[in-house]
Amino acid sequence: MFNWFKLIGRNMRRNLLRTILTTLTMVLATFIYTVLVSVPASMDRIISDASGTLRLIVNNKTAPWEDLPARYCDQVRKMPGCAACVGITGWFATWRDVSEPVFGAAAGPEIIDVFPDYQISAAQRDAHTKERRSAIVGSILMHKYGWTVGQQVTLRGTDAGHIEMPFVITGTTKAKRYPNTFLFRRDYLMETLKAHNQGDEDIAWQLIVRADSANDLAPLAKEIDEHFANSDYETRSITESDALASGLSALGNIRGIVFALCAVVVLTVLLIAANSTAMMVRERISEVAVMRSLGFGRGSLSILLFGECLTIGLVGGLIGAGVALWMFHNGVTLGAALGGTGALWVTPEQAVNAVVVALAVSFVSGLVPIVQALRISPAMAFRKVV
């Protein structure tokens, strides 16, 4: 059997520098493409994961950016279908400098009952209750800053007062939902703000309610809104997935931008690869004619020429997608890019998709010049000799 792989390898080594540069271009393009397509996929994953929870987000109806009294939870907990309720107060801060932002979420001890998927152990729960400065941090945020359980960190608020608050990391969450979490005690935040003449200890940014079952979500949301209707702080209750979808949509048409960038990347690489293939085929015109005269058919020559193109696409695609998968398979925080609610993940499915795209681009880039080369008459070999 004819060893096509050996012949393809030898041909690719004829102009080794061009082969390497074209492959590196494919590596870089595949890496960028893999990361880009993972952004909308990560957004979909955040919303999809939230759709399976039993939580409601309760905001101020008049103005969603306004606060709500945390004492509302006392009344919500008594409603039928309510499993738990907690008031959340956000706190924007930085660690060592402004390039290391942290979005803190201050909540009462009920947060553990509202978010059982945080998988907080009994030991972590006890430590969080006993230590006033306790903080429970998401896995991705821990990895980003190199924090460890037991470490003391001091965060500085971004508000006008630039309040500094020391914390002790007493635990970490393994859940994939909200992996950028920096969760700490709300009473600690309120006491600190009060000491600096800031904040109202009864005010929360929003309430988060967990229902007993999926069937209780709609009735519970309706009862909450009706109960606080015509009050000083009217409410608007929506499911967690709807709240996340609304928040992500506020970022703009991220999906359209990403797909446009993907198209630019693919088109750019297609032109580069096509130019490289055209030069390769032009150098092989006489060889193709000689091989035709020796009895090689168009099918055999197609295997040889397309084999070189597809080998470059396969090697470049595997390396580029593999590096992206290795770097981002555990997720990486994007901060404000996803509203602080999630992270970027590259999955094996997305990596495989990127390799397929790399192969497709390699095939299409060689289609026109190779088809033209296959039309060469065997007599061309003798003309070249003469």
Burial class of residue 189, CB neighbours in 10 A (0-12, 13-18, 19+)? buried
**The pLDDT value given to residue 112:** 82
The angle formed by the CA atoms of residues 70, 75 and 79, to the nearest 5 degrees, is 135
Question: Lowest-confidence range among 45-54, 204-213, 258-267, 300-309?
Answer: 45-54
**The pLDDT value given to residue 1:** 43
Tens digit of each residue's pLDDT (9 = 90 or more) over 116-140: 877 777 788 888 888 889 998 888 8
Average pLDDT, the chain: 80
Phi-psi region of 61 (alpha: psi -120 to 50; beta: other; left: phi over 0): alpha
Task: Using DSSP bridges, classify how beta strands 101-107 and 182-185 pair: parallel, antiparallel or unpaired.
Answer: parallel
Q: How confident is the model at residue 223 (pLDDT cuts 50, 70, 90)?
A: very high
Judge contact between 187 and 168, C-beta under 8 A: no
What is the identity of the amino acid at 109?
A: P
Tens digit of each residue's pLDDT (9 = 90 or more) over 54-86: 888 898 888 766 788 888 999 999 999 999 999
Nearest CA among 197, 163, 176 for reference residue 92: 163
Please give the DSSP secondary-structure letter assigned to residue 201: T
Question: Lowest-confidence range among 59-63, 330-334, 350-354?
Answer: 330-334
Question: Lowest-confidence range among 241-250, 301-310, 325-334?
Answer: 241-250
